[in-house]
Amino acid sequence: MSLFSADRKTGALLSIILIVTIWGSASAVTKLAVDDIPPYIFAFLRNAVAAACLLPYFLIRRRKNSSLYPPLPRKKVVLMGLTGITFFYLFFNLSLYYTTASAGALIQGFIPAAIILLSILFLKERLRPLQIGGIALSVIGVIMIGFIGSFAGARNAILGNTLMIFAVIFWGFYTIISKSLEKFDAVQLTATSTTIGTIGLIPAVVFELIRHPELPTISMTDWLSILYLGIFSSAVCYILYNKVLKVLSGVQVGNFMNFDPVVGAILAISFLGEKITVWQIAGAILVLVGVFLTSRKGKKNEPEVL
């Protein structure tokens, strides 16, 4: 039975809540791990675990009924793997090596606005005045979070926060591409794109090993982090995310994703002992308000700008 066959909307809502909770924890867990394991190697290991879970599962399902799994559009699925796995995790992990988990999590609050902005730029969607204001507020909020005030405990907060903005942009591209492939099976999409994206990480791992030939010592805590993020944050949540995109609108998904940075910031404060500045709180509020305005459809007679 399909995950959403009994009540698709309820199943999708419960799934997005679970996704937000697990993904909200990813910043804090990754921050702990990249202090011990080089960022690119950690990105490869967690996604290799995800691919090792997803690919056999998909192949078993396809063997039972291959007619349910038509060939995927090659270019789009490769782009999914590169944007949502390869480049997202290269920037995400390196960002958290330099900045704090709380700052990284709060900047991710810009994801819904970034998705809408990219949809306008590349899908030629129409932009309303209210959305212009919302995007502007979100951008100001991100600047306040990432570039104003002090960042205790960060190696290089400005660099790290800039890298996180690039991660957000790549995630926006991944979401847009995923939405265009919603007629395909979520497990097939996730398994294929994750495998492609993990292979795409290999050159970065080689580069990191050339720079630092000594292999890192991976503790039991680090292995648990790899397994947790690989199995739950990547394998399980990516499947659910692609299923949810078939049921809920992009606006609905974006609104739920607003809670991701809140969960991430709370965990960073609670478990890592990080402190959030007044600037970051004010910036996070602006981002949330901006996303709310951006996601509103506006009145029917409201003029379109673009």
Between 50 and 304, residue with greater pLDDT = 50
* Average pLDDT of the residues in 142-147: 86
Host H or E run for residue 100: none
Whose structure tokens read 């692609």? 242
Q: What is the pTM assigned to this prediction? A: 0.86
Summarize pLDDT for 73-109 with one digit per residue, the tens: 999 999 999 999 999 999 999 999 999 999 999 898 8
Does the structure show a pLDDT above 60 at 298? no
Of 117-131, 152-166, 192-206, 287-301, highest mean pLDDT? 192-206
Does the structure show a pLDDT above 50 at 149? yes
C-alpha pair distances (Å), 84 with each of 4, 143, 147:
24, 24, 25
pLDDT at residue 193 in the model? 96
Does the structure show a pLDDT above 60 at 213? yes
Cα(255)–Cα(111) distance, integer angstroms: 10
Within 10 Å of residue 54's Cβ, how many Cβ atoms?
Answer: 27
CA dihedral (26, 32, 36, 41) in degrees, to 10, reads 10
Does the structure show a pLDDT above 50 at 301? no
Whose structure tokens read 């039972």? 64
Cα(175)–Cα(177) distance, integer angstroms: 5
Whether the CB-CB separation of 15 and 240 falls below 8 Å is answered with yes
Distance of CA 19 to the CA centre of its chain: 10
Joined together, the tokens standing for residue 42 give 């950690």
Summarize pLDDT for 18-57 with one digit per residue, the tens: 998 999 899 999 999 998 999 999 999 999 999 999 999 9
Whose structure tokens read 């690989």? 230
pLDDT at residue 304 in the model? 42
pLDDT at residue 214 in the model? 85
Q: 246: pLDDT confidence band, cut at 50, 70 and 90?
A: confident
pLDDT at residue 245 in the model? 81
Q: 293: pLDDT confidence band, cut at 50, 70 and 90?
A: confident
Cα(126)–Cα(138) distance, integer angstroms: 18
Host H or E run for residue 87: none
Helix 39-64, helix 237-247: angle, nearest 10: 60
Cα(93)–Cα(90) distance, integer angstroms: 6
Report the percentage of the chain scoring pLDDT > 70: 92
Cα(233)–Cα(298) distance, integer angstroms: 34
Cα(190)–Cα(200) distance, integer angstroms: 15
Q: Work out the burial of residue 278: count CB atoms within 10 Å of its CB; fewer than 13 is exposed, 13-18 middle, 19 or more buried.
A: exposed
CA dihedral (14, 17, 22, 24) in degrees, to 10, reads 170
